[in-house]
Structure 1
Amino acid sequence: MPQLSPAGNEIVQRLGQRHGLSTDAVTHMLIAIHNGNGSMAQFNHPEFGGCGQWMRGGMTMVSDLFNYQLKSRVENICNDIANELANHQTSPFQGSFQSQSQGGQSQGSGNTQSQASGAMGSNNSLFVPDPDQNWWPEELGVPNATGAQNNIRYAYFSWSRRLAVKTGSDVWVYDTLDHQIGGFGQQQGGGSSITFTSQYGTVNLASLPVVSRNGVAPVPPTPAPAAPAAASPASETASNNMAALSPSDNGNRQEASGNDGILGTLERLGALKEKGYISDQEFEEKKRDLLSRL
């Protein structure tokens, strides 16, 4: 929550006395209008009847719809605060994001919608300067819109197609591609995710390319080495057929077959000699002849 400067405290005291309100109520409305860029506010304070909305030159809504005295009181204090903010503004208000918190709490419970703090990036002497005001990379320049929700900050730079998001101490910069961003949301519950709205509807922030994190560009992952292509059955069959037709393999097979035949002949000759069908001399001559062929 922004802190009031001495000038801001003096304004709160003076307006509280003028309108018969506590300093807490005036401070609450001052911050609400400041967050609405000096022209609108969403508030929730018992001295204003609880929840309500105000827009300069437009509608004023309070919880007690037929309490016209309360409605007039809200309009008067809001107009005076808006004038004071305009008189103490040292730079133009910037645009703001419309943010929606779902499943969590933001000034209420359940699904609530609140104006993100677009004035966080502006300068107003009623508030103590934020030491972390310009938290995005300097080279991005001045954002078109800024906002904050649930400890997450946003800064949108439409002209350079960049979006800066601060989560904790990390500053992420995204390429917004051709999206025209108009708002942000956070889904709470069984896991938190950040979404934004554009001309394409609701989009998950994780779908945008990351340009840098804390000023360092992401390192692209090293591609895994390609696995060797598996041989197809047809190629294996062709390879086997080629191997079967290899002259050297055919020669080896013929040689092995011939050796087996010679040894088989020797065994048969030995059997004939034992039975007395051939003499020892005939056997030796045949054996020498066959062995010479090995």
Structure 2
Amino acid sequence: MTAALTPEAEQSVDDIARRYGLSTDAVVAMLYAVNSGGGTMAQFSIPELGGSGQWMRGGMTMVGNMFDNALKARVDGLCNELSQLLATTVVFPPAATSPAGGFTANNWWPADLGVPSSTGAQNGSRYAVFPSTARLAVESNGVTRVYDTGQHQIGGVQQQQGGPAGTVSFTSQFGTFDTTGLVEVTGGQVAAAPVAASAPEPIPYAEPGTYSEPGTYSEPAPQSVAGTATAPTGGPDDIFTAIESLAGLHQRGILTDEEFAAKKSELLGRL
């Protein structure tokens, strides 16, 4: 077996490959894809499984031939078994740490990050993904930085042609992103984000009334039906204006349906 797996994981992979009628290399490739997706999703390109596809636990399975339901079921079953294997078995052997607890002899990332689910290089930079601790290590120009990936479940690296040197873009369930959108880890902890100044509380809007104290509003008393707004003395325009005023009081709940209907009828009777 070409991949670095524990003996127990190798035995499980051989058994899964035999039951699914696949090569061990194909199963190992899918194992790495599921591990890169945190055990819940995978993006893969495996010829034995129809080429490129995606899988999400309990949800979506996509294969090259979207109408091949048998292949979809096969991929879903395989990924679920590999997800369970990752959750119950030590699949990857632990990395040997240096006496100083810093970098290993063969790896460029800090040893305390453990074993990455995937590594690679792009545009002059190297990267290593650690989904179990939500960490991403990137080395560029001899400097290694570690980032907190937050809710991102990195499923792959966005291929770039002729991109700026030192840039690496990744894909997750949220789409494509790069390290400029991540928080860099300092001393093993996520650097504290600046606290934004709290905005002043908005002044509550209300119809004309009175405020006895902040946040306490008293509704204005309803206009008397004998007032000028409801007892017009002019022509039709005044009567219609008074009806509109009554409608506003009715909509605000100041007048009941019966009171509004009675007064409206009274005013219309004056036309």
* TM-score of the aligned structures, taking structure 2 as reference length: 0.45
* TM-score of the aligned structures, taking structure 1 as reference length: 0.42
